[in-house]
């Protein structure tokens, strides 16, 4: 089955946070950046909302030009501490939906939902749930692109803004990409566009029609990359796994907060099995077992127990998890997320070497 990757991109992030905190700014052009000083200011636009973009404003535009185009706009200096806090809240929500998570900037991230979604229809529902959670908890909007590769997911997230959800199934890749300008491919900017246009490449469809060897001959490594993106062959993973992992964990967020213990137990057992399937493949053992639980209102707790020796035992782990869970049984709060982390890892051959050394 194809990967299911989300690219999550906050809409006009800084401006959206300011509008959230100042509802009176809604439907007015909001510009974050340097002080315009009535058109004589120096510096540039950091970001602006979509209303301001109707006047031709955009990121990196000199602030003096922005003021001339839109003197009636609301010009604000950036409040990075406030934006950082909002970003952290958003990233925490995204990470709660999958451990295969990669933040790439303050306002965008990739999430691999391949294990969470059985198909792209379910992926669409989860994307909507993520957007709903972010609006409810943080008060801002996000656009999400869903595809089988990181690059196509990124292109898709920009397709319907703001607050859009764009699904590109594997069989739809070429039809979706073909009419788009080549600058939609990450890495092809204005200068590269001129170079490609001179050689007859204007749309992504033109790239799809061109054989790989000819793309390499004309454009070198850039041509090879563009061809792979256009043909859905970008195989980059969302999250690079270090050679020496310190822990392995999985989390699952419920579609709705729940107090149904049978449902919670079922989810914990599912997570536990998936983790152990991976551990068995890699011959990895662990000593520390951790339960993570998040309640409604984002109250999050972790509880751990360390064993005297390394094990790889699915039943023992779930028994320990249930023992740790007892603390929260009667608190009256519904559960939003559960997770299991196994840490203090060791490979089988290392354990054998320690035992032989001891003997």
User: 146 and 28: one domain?
Assistant: yes
User: 190 and 269: one domain?
Assistant: no
Least trusted range by pLDDT, from 25-39, 65-79, 159-173, 235-249? 235-249
Q: How many domains does the chain have?
A: 3
235 within some domain? no
236 within some domain? no
> Does the pLDDT value for residue 207 go beyond 50?
yes
Q: Which residue has the higher pLDDT, 268 or 256?
A: 268
Owning domain of residue 189: 178-230
pLDDT of residue 261: 92
Burial bucket for residue 304 (CB in 10 Å: 0-12, 13-18, 19+): middle
Please say which residue of 205, 230, 255 terminates a domain.
230
User: 334 and 199: one domain?
Assistant: no
pLDDT of residue 353: 52
pLDDT (mean) for 281-302: 88
52 within some domain? yes
pLDDT of residue 256: 84
pLDDT of residue 99: 79
pLDDT (mean) for 25-51: 92
pLDDT of residue 189: 86
pLDDT tens, position by position, 98-126: 878 999 889 999 999 998 888 999 999 99
Any residues with CB less than 8 A from the CB of 316 and at least 6 apart, and which? none
pLDDT of residue 345: 87
pLDDT tens, position by position, 138-169: 999 999 999 999 999 999 999 999 999 999 99
Is the pTM of the predicted complex or chain greater than 0.85? no
pLDDT of residue 241: 44
Any residues with CB less than 8 A from the CB of 102 and at least 6 apart, and which? 109, 110, 111, 238, 239
Rounded CA-CA distance 158/174 in Å is: 17
> Does the pLDDT value for residue 86 go beyond 50?
yes
> Does the pLDDT value for residue 330 go beyond 80?
yes
Kindly report the number of other CB atoms within 10 A of residue 359's CB atom. Answer: 5
pLDDT (mean) for 169-193: 93
- DSSP classification of residue 240: P
Q: Which residue has the higher pLDDT, 252 or 152?
A: 152
pLDDT of residue 348: 62
User: 300 and 164: one domain?
Assistant: no
> What is the domain-level CATH number for residue 269?
3.30.1490.100
User: 31 and 127: one domain?
Assistant: yes
Catalytic residues: 108
Per-residue burial over 306-331, b = 16 or more CB atoms within 10 Å of its CB, e = otherwise: eeeebebebeebbebbeebbeebeee
User: 102 and 155: one domain?
Assistant: yes
Q: Cα dist. 279→241, 312, 346 in Å?
A: 14, 8, 10
User: 123 and 196: one domain?
Assistant: no
pLDDT (mean) for 250-261: 87
User: 148 and 196: one domain?
Assistant: no
Average pLDDT, rounded, for the chain: 90
94 within some domain? yes
Per-residue burial over 82-98, b = 16 or more CB atoms within 10 Å of its CB, e = otherwise: ebeebbeebbebbbbbb
> What is the domain-level CATH number for residue 40?
3.30.70.270
- The residue among 45, 44, 11, 51 whose CA lies nearest residue 30 is 51
237 within some domain? no
> Does the pLDDT value for residue 350 go beyond 80?
no
> Does the pLDDT value for residue 1 go beyond 70?
no
User: 189 and 46: one domain?
Assistant: no
Conformational region of residue 187, where left means phi above 0, alpha means psi within -120 to 50, and beta covers everything else: left
């Amino acid at each position: 089955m194809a990967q299911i990757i989300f690219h999550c991109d906050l809409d006009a992030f800084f401006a959206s946070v300011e509008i959230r905190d100042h509802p009176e700014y809604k439907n007015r052009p909001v510009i974050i950046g340097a002080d315009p000083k009535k058109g004589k200011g120096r510096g540039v636009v950091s970001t602006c909302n979509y209303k301001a973009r109707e006047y031709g404003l955009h990121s990196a535009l000199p602030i003096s030009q922005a003021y001339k185009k839109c003197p009636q706009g609301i010009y604000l200096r950036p409040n990075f501490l406030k934006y950082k806090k909002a970003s952290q809240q958003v990233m925490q929500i995204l990470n709660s939906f999958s451990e295969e998570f990669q933040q790439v900037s303050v306002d965008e991230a990739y999430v691999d939902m391949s294990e969470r979604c059985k198909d792209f229809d379910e992926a669409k529902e989860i994307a909507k749930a993520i957007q709903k959670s972010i609006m409810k908890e943080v008060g801002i909007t996000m656009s999400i692109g869903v595809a089988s590769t990181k690059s196509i997911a990124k292109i898709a997230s920009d397709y319907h803004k703001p607050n859009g959800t764009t699904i590109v199934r594997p069989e739809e890749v070429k039809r979706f990409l073909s009419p788009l300008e080549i600058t939609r491919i990450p890495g092809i900017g204005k200068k590269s566009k001129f170079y490609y246009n001179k050689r007859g490449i204007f749309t992504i469809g033109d790239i799809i029609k061109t054989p790989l060897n000819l793309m390499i001959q004309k454009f070198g490594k850039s041509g090879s990359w563009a061809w792979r993106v256009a043909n859905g062959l970008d195989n980059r993973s969302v999250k690079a796994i270090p050679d020496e992992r310190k822990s392995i964990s999985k989390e699952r967020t419920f579609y709705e907060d729940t107090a149904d213990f049978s449902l919670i137990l079922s989810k914990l057992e599912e997570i536990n099995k998936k983790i152990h399937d991976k551990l068995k493949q890699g011959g990895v053992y662990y000593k520390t077992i951790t339960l993570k639980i998040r309640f409604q209102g984002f109250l999050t707790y972790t509880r751990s127990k360390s064993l005297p020796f390394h094990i790889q035992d699915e039943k023992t782990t779930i028994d320990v998890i249930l023992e740790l869970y007892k603390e929260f049984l009667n608190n009256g709060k519904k559960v939003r997320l559960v997770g299991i982390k196994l840490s203090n890892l060791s490979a089988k051959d290392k354990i054998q070497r320690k035992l032989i050394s001891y003997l």
